[in-house]
Structure 1
Amino acid sequence: MIKVLDRLLLFLYSLAIAAASIVAIVAASGGFSEKWLMEVVADFTGDVRAVQASVIGAAIVLLLISLRLFVVSIRRDGNSSPSINQRTEHGDIRISVETVENLALKAASRTRGVKDLRARVRVSEAGLGILIRAFVEGEGSIPAMSEEMQRTVSQQVEEATGIPVAEVSVFIANVTQAPTTFKSRVE
């Protein structure tokens, strides 16, 4: 709804500025005589002060619309996904944070005994900060699994993106029981 309102404001603003520009160009080039303009204003309103108030009101409205459009132009769009930007000799590279999260999840899933993974990526001056949230199965060593996951995620993300990984934090949310399988015996 707000985008529709902003587009409507932009349309009306453009029309008003175009009309004002045309009038200013014609008036500056001598297209209107001052006497004629005063007569038109007097015929239109009957009162010069009312015209002044109307012009001031229109100017205030245009100023408010200008400020709104200025804010919209510098505000970051919520729909665009954040990205990590790199410059190479051939041009710019933009990698979305979501892509890095998916790479981290793919690398973390290679660790044996983990499931239900989630990843979060933070970008800092030192490099990427990756948080992996996982459930572990069974009775394996949680520190060993975590270290293996940290190493794998760090290597894979750095190799795939070329961006240094400052840290990989692992949060083990819970331990789940691996489903036990029963073998049926045939006699």
Structure 2
Amino acid sequence: MLKRILLLACGLLVFLGSALVISEAFLNMGILSPYIEITFARWDVAVLFTILAILGLFAMVLAFASQKEPSSLLIASDYGEVRVSLQTIDSLVHQGAKKIKGIKDLKTRIIVRDGSLYIYVKAVLYGDRNIPELTEQMQQTISEHVYSISGINVDEVKVLVENVATDIKTKVS
């Protein structure tokens, strides 16, 4: 996020600075004349700073361009490639969580970044269980279940305990 903000700021500064110099060269507004003297022919300045203005606009567009997150993971085998969708990984996470007693509700977010798999879990737990032990068990069970079924190594499982419930019905879907 910080990179996007810096790219936007730099692009904006380059664009506005270039527009100011171009307008000074053609309109002689007198804004820059006390500080610098434009000694080039007007078309030279216009071409140079038009290129800079285009680069500034390009940087601003890059700052707003969304990077599409992958929707699947690639697994290479001896016979070719297999793609496993993030929806499949999500289902595997829920299957692994069903093995653990003490979870009332579970929401997941799966992220693939630089070929690494990160799983973020928001859980509602029952209040009669030790939270550190239960969350560690969740991390281990989910990671092992996803790996054993898909062959995909989970780099990190982060758990956020969203709430603690008191009723007895389990609901992990």
TM-score (norm 2): 0.54
Aligned to 1:106: 95
- Identity across the alignment (%): 33
Which of 150, 155, 163 is 2:152 aligned to?
Answer: 163
Structure 1 residue ranges, 4+ long, deviating more than 3 angstroms after superposition? none
Mapped contact 2:123–2:163 kept (Cα < 8 A): yes
Shift of 1:178: 2.2
Aligned partner letter, 2:145: Q
Distance 1:164 1:148 in 2: 17
1:140 aligned residue (104, 116, 129): 129
Contact 2:119-2:157 at 8 Å conserved across structures? yes
Alignment of 1:37-116 (within 5 A): 82-116=71-105
Distance in 2 (alpha carbons) for counterparts of 1:162 and 1:134: 25
DSSP-derived class of the 2:138 partner: helix
Match of 2:110 in 1: 121
Task: List gaps (5 residues or longer) in structure 2.
Answer: 1-67
**Deviation by residue 1:134-155 (Cα, 9 ceiling, x = unmatched):** 1001221111100000000010
The answer as to whether partners of 1:150 and 1:170 remain within 8 angstroms in 2 is: yes
1:113-170 alpha-carbon deviations (Å, 9 max, x no partner): 1021111111123621001111001221111100000000010111111111110001
Q: Partners of 2:114 and 2:105 in 1: how far apart?
A: 30
Task: Find the aligned partners of 1:90 and 1:128 in 2 and give their Cα distance.
Answer: 23
**Largest Rg, 1 or 2:** 1
Secondary structure of the 2:152 match is: coil
Superposition TM-score, scaled by structure 1 size: 0.50
CA distance in 1, matches of 2:131, 2:115: 27
Q: 1:175 is matched with which residue: 164, 169, 172?
A: 164
Q: Secondary structure at the match of 1:178?
A: coil
| Higher RCO (CA-CA < 8 Å; seq separation 6+) | 2
AA in 1 matched with 2:104: K
Higher helix share: 1
Q: In structure 1, what is the Cα distance between the partners aligned to 2:109 and 2:122?
A: 8
Would the aligned equivalents of 2:139 and 2:157 in 1 still touch at CA under 8 Å?
Answer: yes
Matched, 1:152 2:130: no
